[in-house]
Amino acid sequence: MRLTPAEQMKIIERGAAEIIEEGELLQKLERSYNEQRPLTIKLGLDPSAPDIHLGHAVVLRKIKQLQDLGHHAVILIGDFTGRIGDPSGKAKGRTALSDEAVRENAETYCEQIFKVLDKTKTTVRFNSTWLSKLNFEEVLKLAASTSVARMLERDDFQNRYQNQSPIGIHEFFYPLMQAYDSVELKADIEIGGTDQTFNILMGRTLQKHMGQEKQVGIFMPLIEGLDGVEKMSKSLGNYIGVSEAPEVMFKKVMEIPDPLVFKYFELATDEDPLSVESILDRLEDGENPRNIKLELAEIITGLYHGEDAMNEAKRYFETAFQKREIPENIPSLLVEIGQERIEEIIPQLVESGFVRSKSEFVRLVEQNGVSFNGDKLTREELDTVVHNGDVLQIGKKRFVRFEK
């Protein structure tokens, strides 16, 4: 049964930081409902990095809600704008990507977005299709649609100008090109994080300038990463990638700071809003945040890897990380995860000073002096293949965690 425009509005507003303009969105939904025509929802992705993390997925999950309401998503891969790089929030200009890097990253993006989106209700477009064909006269007309003063309203440009940090003229074209994408796609809605406010509103401006109906901007909150301070970012190392191994994803979710648990439930899951609201009540009633975080890790890992992989990741976490005798801050050793056996890693343990010799290590194993993920290691178990996060205890005080 199709939901009415008013019912759709309630779903769309849920979790959004801001909608510009709500009245226009309701009008679009009413026309779509009456004409039985899906709205076109645009999401622009600048392929500057090959991995999508839960921060990106906040926006993707909102688009999935719109798809479930019957609307169509257009994922716009900025293979042309990626040659400039989005300057949003940057203290300096970014190095342009090579064509090869842009193509490789775009392919990886496409593989990952369908972990969230409905492929049958999604079209993937590349903006080089039209931007590469603009001649110089058309570029000048595009530039004439706004002013330098308007561009300097952007916080990042304004700050760089005031700090006398160079701003390349080509950087002014990034929001203009993103806006032109909206014109080309005749976008009804563009979705992005709150850091994309200027670029998305520029799309509204250019659509009006070119005689089109203005797109509505839906802005989703930015989600902080594992440090609890900065927005989730691969470059900052505080991210949870949607393609990371189940056991890695599960462990990382368990590392989320307690104050962010509710926000992750709200923005990074598909849980019913009423059940999410109950999380606050449970926290206020004094329930241990670790219990609730365990539920969150199960839900998020299950979303991206399925129930079986989630259960295996949970068992792995409980074995490797919930043993009290294993301390948190221990040295790590880089190994070929999923390929090397414990016996093959002994020379590295010797070289790194964890044990004096292979014979000493074997002797300790035979004397029950070596533990693997909290369990005593036997001679027969030396052919066990190591995985990311496995912990080896040698004697009483020597610990090492294997990482890739």
- Please report, in range form, the residues annotated as the binding site for ATP: 234
Is 256 within 8 Å of 293 (Cβ atoms)?
yes
Which residues make Cβ contacts (< 8 Å) with residue 355, sequence separation at least 6? 346, 349, 361, 364, 394, 398
Report whether 194 contacts 221 (CB < 8 A): yes
Q: Which two tokens stand for residue 340?
A: 């090397």
Q: Which residues of 223-252 are buried (b: 16+ CB within 10 A; e: fewer)?
A: bbbbeeeebbebeeebbbbbebbbbbbbbb
- CA nearest to 342, candidates 284, 382, 402: 382
Distance (Å, rounded) from C-alpha 112 to C-alpha 75?
12
User: In angstroms, rounded to a whole number, what is the distance separating the alpha carbons of residues 106 and 1?
Assistant: 36
Annotated binding residues, written as ranges, equal 234
Q: Which residue has the tokens 């533990």?
A: 371
C-alpha 173/C-alpha 81 separation (Å) is 9
Q: Indicate the length of the chain as a whole number.
A: 404
